[in-house]
Chains A and B, each alone.
Chain A
Amino acid sequence: MSRLRSFAARLRALLRDREIDRDLREQIDAHLDEAIDEYMQQGLSPADARRAALRSLGGIARIHEEHREMRTFAWIEDARKDMRYACRSLRRAPGFAFVAVLTLALAIGAATAIFSVVDAALLRPVPYPRPHEIVAVTVGETFEQRLAPSVVDIEGWRESTAGQDNVFARIGMGRLLGSRPAIVDAGTPERLSVGTASVDLLEVFGVFPMLGRGFTAEDERPGAPGVVLVNYDYWQTRLDGAADVIGRSILLEGVATTIAGVLPPGFYPERMVWRPHVESGPMRAMRGTGASVYARLRPGRAADAVARDLTARLATVTKRPLRVHLTTLYDDTTSGYGLTLATLSGAVGLIMLIACVNVAGLLLARGATRRPELAIRTAIGAGRGRLIRQLLVEGIVLALAGGVAGVILAYVTLETIVGLVPLRLPPNVTPAVNLQVLGFALVVSVITSIGFGLAPALKLSRANDGTHLSAGRSRHGSALTRRGGQLLIVVEVAMAVVLVTGAALMIRSFSRILAIDVGFEPETVVTMEVVPIDGTPEIQKGYVPALISSVRAIPGVAAAGVANRAPLDGSGSYSGATIGDRSITIARRSVTPGYFEALGLRLRQGRFPADVDTSAAVPFAVLSESAARAMFPNQVAVGQQFVHMKQTWTVLGVVGDARNKSPLVRDLERPDVYLAYQPDPRASALNVVVRQTGRIPRLAEQLRRAAESVGPRVLVEPVRSGRNLFDDRVATPRQQTTLLSLLGGLGLLLTLVGIFGTTAYAVARRTTEVGIRMALGARPARVVGTIVGDAAWPVALGITIGLAAAMAASRVIASFLFETAPTDALTFASTAVALAATALLAAWIPARRAAHVDPVRALRAE
């Protein structure tokens, strides 16, 4: 009891240090005055009385010190002293301190920045109340098959006892890319991403409208008056954040709809407007359909048990062996992050290790000059434990300084680094240097300080006998021996090789990506997306030919056509084509004449369609080579017919295979078929594809005018070049390459600094030896060679070990690599050569100094 109380009192004292000091001083003053009074009463002179009082009191400084140690905790007092001492001793060696702190700052900064991404991706990716209760619901006949349950399934659960445990909701993820609402508010139509949500979605996520209401069952009834929810951003930017927006009407795809509610900020921020999930007819029983279904489990219900109940209920209505899978929202969100984060963490871990080895080397090298000082401390009674502690505290001071600088570095570069991280993070979670990240940086700094400080501390604190007292400032008996320095080089080079190999593999892979032949020439293509605001088939029928001829009239345009989707847009639409009694799946694109020439697809057989072909009785089709092979094996495809979408099509020509979807995807299972463009009530954007001869000045502006001047009201999306479209598709590998190259470069840089430092130190240590050699006639070049040679063997050994380690480690990033083996021999060889060259350069620069050693001076220095 009293022990606990005194512990608490000590903690309190920690905070009231100064106050207690003053208190004690006052007591001692009073004590002395009282004592002087008493001595004077005994007849002593004031001066004698004072002396006597001081004598009987004892040393005041000592009282203070003892009091101080008693009042809090002895180790805190010691740490405080050690800390002050460490700061002083680092100030005496500013060069060393600078290099050490900079090294640590770079490593801790990299680790902190990457950790803030990990923090956002893994530690707080689900910013909803009681997130563990939220699950993604899928059904499938096999473990791999994961389809969204149908509306009918969900209703069945809701009405049965099995579903009483849950609240279900359905969210139309699939509508995100394909939606084409033209929303009119205050007379400005714009194209926005519109989400689709069912009644329960907000409830499942625990999100409540800020204003108005959410959707109701009435809203989902087919034919109900249209309502929408708008998100916070839309409310602020388009509706001026007005309080009376509820009940206001906006046009959604030309239909007047009423605003029912405003969603709070942060909920799927890229979806500005939400509409209710209205599904009728056979779609209600369809599973999959690109939707995602989420549920909130009742508190205390285990996902496994619920999944069993739901599966059992499903079995009563269907004979198919469907199983229900429940995945927590956390797992559902973070499932794709593992490999990337593991790779980045691994790279950062290696960098941390290199930094630790570096600073340990620096500390050991510096240890030589510290020896006399440590010997003095031993001589006046410091135990080895005390010395170790002192040296470790110095390490902590260094690491904390590095940590502070690192956090600042991470804070400043965070946005850039986050932009490079190849992850699609949840949009409502942004990486930031928050308290958790700061805590991480602190922990890493302290662990680092032990990582680099322990070995030097153990080594330097040992064998401090009198010999070091007399050794003065000599560098003999240094803690960093020749062997020790070489070992450090081996370790560093090995780790750098792993990092650099990873980066080099990514670079090689990315150069292969850039060299991909997509089957056309993206360099000279320009695309523009045009959206008629009232997109009826009649309007399209007249507008499309007018648009094309208007674009072709721009001077310098060599060819132009329209398609239902842009090249390399990352998606495709698939359906069946029937040839006689056979049926195959094709990737279909609707195109007008001119499209092939504009894109630069290569003609293999037949001919490209001309404008007159659009009025033919049987619409035209152009096949890709693999489509021709699959549909008409061993026949001439041109002139053949097939049935698709209940219509007969005639093959006009065959073009070379192209990677229409993405440069990275070569889909031979579902070959490309280009069909004559036909107005479609559901059609989204018209994608105008243009080939220019040379560079047309202000092409974007001219295209926009061409689109707007010839017909109905249209929205024109930004004009993009084929290169832009290509880059969009390879953004992830580009990010992976850039980030891993940066980390590899950082690791290499730190390693080179380490080799430089170790060699520079070796030169300094061997000044006398070099002096003697030169006095005996050794040529300077020879001396430099010896010193560089000392670094060369460990570099070679490090490279060998590093290559072996890289062989194993590069398998991890195999899935990031495009047509590049994780053990690509050329990459490994060039890494080895590059490392050897730079490492020897890093050793050679300081070694040159040895050649300038003046033998007389070197010997006198002894």
Chain B
Amino acid sequence: MTPDKRDVLYGSLGLLVLKTLEALGPLHGYRLARRIEQISGNQLAMNQGTLYPALLKLEQAGWITSKWASSESGRRVKVYALTKSGRKQIAVEEDEWQKATGIVGRFFQIHLSTVALAKAEEDPS
């Protein structure tokens, strides 16, 4: 039971789902999983099953909706589509993602002068 890790995972997976649905329109579970894998260049080794709890969370938040429909092969499948508030959420999450990566990016650019500056601020005497 390590909820922290899972939350991070779901957080990013959620964004991937929303972006995929934005780009490709309504999709059912399997198609969505495959598309995410394909878009990532098959570099995301995810358990496809983890998608379903993530979808549930997004749906409960009202960012996607679902309805039963037929797949291309004629199977009864649940098709997920982005909602208006989901579209807004993408903007929010993108923004946050940029901020987060920006912060991490700054750490990659650390050099001594900034450290010295920070020290000086901390101890004005």
A contact set with B: CB distance below 8 Å? 1-3, 5-6, 9-10, 13, 23-24, 26-28, 30-31, 33-35, 37-38, 56-60, 62-63, 66-67, 69-71, 74
Residues from chain A with Cβ under 8 Å of B78 in the complex: 23, 26-27, 30
Let me know if B75 and A63 touch, CB within 8 A: no
Let me know if B47 and A2 touch, CB within 8 A: no
Given contacts A30-B30, A58-B48, 9 further A-B contacts (CB under 8 A): A3-B61, A5-B61, A30-B28, A30-B75, A31-B29, A33-B75, A34-B73, A57-B49, A63-B52
**Which among B29, B34, B47, B56 is the interface contact of A58 at CB below 8 angstroms?**
B47
Residues from chain A with Cβ under 8 Å of B75 in the complex: 30, 33-34
Distance to closest chain A CB from B70 (angstroms): 10
Distance to closest chain B CB from A438 (angstroms): 33
Q: How far is the CA of A38 from the CA of B29 in the complex (A)?
A: 14
Distance to closest chain A CB from B35 (angstroms): 12
Let me know if B53 and A27 touch, CB within 8 A: no
Let me know if A31 and B30 touch, CB within 8 A: yes
Q: How far is the CA of A30 from the CA of B79 in the complex (A)?
A: 12
Asked if B87 lies at the interface with its beta carbon under 8 angstroms from chain A, I say: no
Which residue in chain B gives the minimum CB-CB distance to A2? B61
Let me know if B53 and A63 touch, CB within 8 A: yes
Let me know if B49 and A27 touch, CB within 8 A: no
Most central of A1, A23, A56 by chain B CB within 10 Å: A56
| 27 A-B pairs with C-beta separation under 8 A | A2-B61, A3-B61, A6-B57, A6-B60, A6-B61, A9-B59, A9-B62, A26-B76, A27-B77, A27-B78, A28-B52, A30-B75, A31-B30, A31-B33, A34-B31, A35-B30, A35-B48, A57-B47, A58-B48, A59-B47, A60-B49, A63-B52, A66-B50, A67-B52, A70-B57, A70-B60, A74-B3
Q: A2-B61, A30-B28 are in contact. Are A37 and B73 (CB under 8 A)?
A: yes
Let me know if B60 and A58 touch, CB within 8 A: no
**Which among A5, A10, A30, A62 is the interface contact of B29 at CB below 8 angstroms?**
A30
Asked if B40 lies at the interface with its beta carbon under 8 angstroms from chain A, I say: no
Let me know if A67 and B48 touch, CB within 8 A: no
Let me know if A10 and B60 touch, CB within 8 A: yes
Distance to closest chain A CB from B81 (angstroms): 15
Asked if B98 lies at the interface with its beta carbon under 8 angstroms from chain A, I say: no
Asked if B89 lies at the interface with its beta carbon under 8 angstroms from chain A, I say: yes
Within 8 A of A (CB), among B49-105: 49-50, 52-53, 56-57, 59-63, 71, 73, 75-78, 85, 89
Distance to closest chain A CB from B21 (angstroms): 16
Let me know if B56 and A71 touch, CB within 8 A: yes
Residues from chain A with Cβ under 8 Å of B29 in the complex: 27, 30-31
Q: A30-B77, A37-B73 are in contact. Are A5 and B62 (CB under 8 A)?
A: yes
Distance to closest chain A CB from B13 (angstroms): 12
Let me know if A9 and B47 touch, CB within 8 A: no
Q: How far is the CA of A2 from the CA of B52 in the complex (A)?
A: 19
Residues from chain B with Cβ under 8 Å of A30 in the complex: 28-30, 71, 75-78
Distance to closest chain A CB from B103 (angstroms): 24
Residues from chain A with Cβ under 8 Å of B47 in the complex: 56-59
**Which among A24, A31, A69 is the interface contact of B48 at CB below 8 angstroms?**
A31
Let me know if A27 and B52 touch, CB within 8 A: yes
Q: How far is the CA of A34 from the CA of B30 in the complex (A)?
A: 7
Residues from chain B with Cβ under 8 Å of A9 in the complex: 59-62
Dominant secondary structure of chain B at its interface with chain A: helix
Residues from chain A with Cβ under 8 Å of B34 in the complex: 38
Residues from chain A with Cβ under 8 Å of B76 in the complex: 26, 30
Residues from chain A with Cβ under 8 Å of B56 in the complex: 67, 70-71
Q: How large is the interface on B (under 10, 10 to 19, 20 to 34, 35 or more residues)?
A: 20 to 34
Residues from chain A with Cβ under 8 Å of B30 in the complex: 30-31, 34-35
Q: How far is the CA of A23 from the CA of B77 in the complex (A)?
A: 10
Let me know if B50 and A63 touch, CB within 8 A: yes
Q: How far is the CA of A277 from the CA of B89 in the complex (A)?
A: 76
Q: A30-B71, A70-B56 are in contact. Are A2 and B49 (CB under 8 A)?
A: no
Residues from chain A with Cβ under 8 Å of B61 in the complex: 2-3, 5-6, 9
Q: How far is the CA of A6 from the CA of B6 in the complex (A)?
A: 18
Q: Which 10 A-B pairs have the closest CB atoms?
A: A58-B47, A9-B60, A58-B49, A34-B30, A63-B49, A6-B60, A2-B61, A66-B53, A31-B30, A70-B53
Most central of A3, A5, A13 by chain B CB within 10 Å: A5
Distance to closest chain A CB from B24 (angstroms): 16
Residues from chain B with Cβ under 8 Å of A58 in the complex: 47-50
Q: A2-B63, A6-B61 are in contact. Are A24 and B52 (CB under 8 A)?
A: yes
Which residue in chain B gives the minimum CB-CB distance to A8? B60
Distance to closest chain A CB from B92 (angstroms): 10
Most central of A2, A3, A5, A38 by chain B CB within 10 Å: A2
Which residue in chain A gives the minimum CB-CB distance to B34? A38
Which residue in chain B gives the minimum CB-CB distance to A55? B47
Which residue in chain B gives the minimum CB-CB distance to A78? B1
Residues from chain A with Cβ under 8 Å of B71 in the complex: 30, 34
Contact with A along B6-39 (1 / 0, CB 8 A): 1000000000000000000000111101100000
Q: How far is the CA of A417 from the CA of B122 in the complex (A)?
A: 74
Distance to closest chain B CB from A789 (angstroms): 49
Residues from chain B with Cβ under 8 Å of A33 in the complex: 75
Let me know if B48 and A57 touch, CB within 8 A: yes
Distance to closest chain B CB from A101 (angstroms): 32
Residues from chain A with Cβ under 8 Å of B28 in the complex: 30, 34
Which residue in chain B gives the minimum CB-CB distance to A20? B56
Let me know if B49 and A62 touch, CB within 8 A: yes
Residues from chain A with Cβ under 8 Å of B85 in the complex: 1-2
Q: How far is the CA of A71 from the CA of B57 in the complex (A)?
A: 7
Q: How far is the CA of A524 from the CA of B56 in the complex (A)?
A: 86
Distance to closest chain A CB from B45 (angstroms): 10
Q: How far is the CA of A37 from the CA of B71 in the complex (A)?
A: 12
Let me know if A67 and B77 touch, CB within 8 A: no
Which residue in chain B gives the minimum CB-CB distance to A69? B53
Distance to closest chain B CB from A44 (angstroms): 16
Residues from chain A with Cβ under 8 Å of B33 in the complex: 31
Distance to closest chain B CB from A596 (angstroms): 90
Q: How far is the CA of A557 from the CA of B56 in the complex (A)?
A: 93
Distance to closest chain B CB from A100 (angstroms): 30
Which residue in chain B gives the minimum CB-CB distance to A10? B60
Which residue in chain B gives the minimum CB-CB distance to A61? B49
Which residue in chain B gives the minimum CB-CB distance to A32? B30
Let me know if A2 and B31 touch, CB within 8 A: no
Which residue in chain A gives the minimum CB-CB distance to B6? A66
Residues from chain A with Cβ under 8 Å of B59 in the complex: 9
Q: How far is the CA of A28 from the CA of B63 in the complex (A)?
A: 22
Q: How far is the CA of A397 from the CA of B113 in the complex (A)?
A: 63
Distance to closest chain B CB from A51 (angstroms): 14
Let me know if B89 and A2 touch, CB within 8 A: yes
Q: How far is the CA of A63 from the CA of B53 in the complex (A)?
A: 7
**Which among A26, A37, A67, A74 is the interface contact of B53 at CB below 8 angstroms?**
A67
Q: How far is the CA of A23 from the CA of B55 in the complex (A)?
A: 13
Q: How far is the CA of A60 from the CA of B48 in the complex (A)?
A: 10
Distance to closest chain A CB from B107 (angstroms): 30
Let me know if B53 and A28 touch, CB within 8 A: no
Q: How far is the CA of A343 from the CA of B85 in the complex (A)?
A: 61
Residues from chain B with Cβ under 8 Å of A2 in the complex: 61-63, 85, 89
Residues from chain B with Cβ under 8 Å of A69 in the complex: 53
Distance to closest chain B CB from A389 (angstroms): 13
Q: How far is the CA of A2 from the CA of B76 in the complex (A)?
A: 29
Residues from chain B with Cβ under 8 Å of A3 in the complex: 61
Distance to closest chain A CB from B93 (angstroms): 12
Q: How far is the CA of A70 from the CA of B10 in the complex (A)?
A: 11
Which residue in chain B gives the minimum CB-CB distance to A54? B49
Q: How far is the CA of A30 from the CA of B66 in the complex (A)?
A: 15
Residues from chain A with Cβ under 8 Å of B63 in the complex: 2
Residues from chain B with Cβ under 8 Å of A56 in the complex: 47-48
Q: A2-B61, A71-B56 are in contact. Are A28 and B49 (CB under 8 A)?
A: yes
Distance to closest chain B CB from A80 (angstroms): 16
Q: How far is the CA of A71 from the CA of B58 in the complex (A)?
A: 11
Which residue in chain A gives the minimum CB-CB distance to B62? A5
Residues from chain B with Cβ under 8 Å of A31 in the complex: 29-30, 33, 48
